[in-house]
Amino acid sequence: MNYDACGVYILASPGNGVLYVGMSVDLLGRIWTHKEKLLDGFAKRYNCTKLVYYESAPDKDAALEREKQIKKWSRFKKLRLIQSMNHEFEDLSDQLGL
């Protein structure tokens, strides 16, 4: 995967398990800004800094559509998606060099 390309990601709060679904045209940059808490909003308010899932998208429109799709899912379905890639719910940002 080209990590500076478009993609969808799921962040989790290490303390309480809150999930945040987002998309970006610069996945590495966006995850870094979440980890540094530079963006005000839901993810910062609930301390969602642990990257538990990501996938690439061919372009911004596809990433946005996929983000909308995942956001509509139940928590259980989101957790199954995360487990399909990251069974131990590790912070995947470490693998990306963040």
pLDDT given at position 59: 92
Q: Calculate the CA dihedral of residues 80, 86, 87, 89 and round it to 10 degrees.
A: -100
pLDDT given at position 3: 55
pLDDT given at position 39: 86
pLDDT given at position 80: 98
pLDDT given at position 76: 97
CA–CA gap between residue 16 and residue 68 (Å, rounded) = 23
CA–CA gap between residue 10 and residue 77 (Å, rounded) = 13
Q: What are the structural domains of the chain? A: 7-94 (3.40.1440.10)
pLDDT band of residue 97 (cuts 50, 70, 90) is confident
CA–CA gap between residue 93 and residue 68 (Å, rounded) = 22
CB 44 within 8 A of CB 21: no
Percent of the chain with pLDDT over 90: 77
Percent of the chain with pLDDT over 70: 96
The pTM (predicted TM-score) of the whole model is: 0.92
Element (H, E) at 85: helix 75-85
pLDDT band of residue 62 (cuts 50, 70, 90) is very high
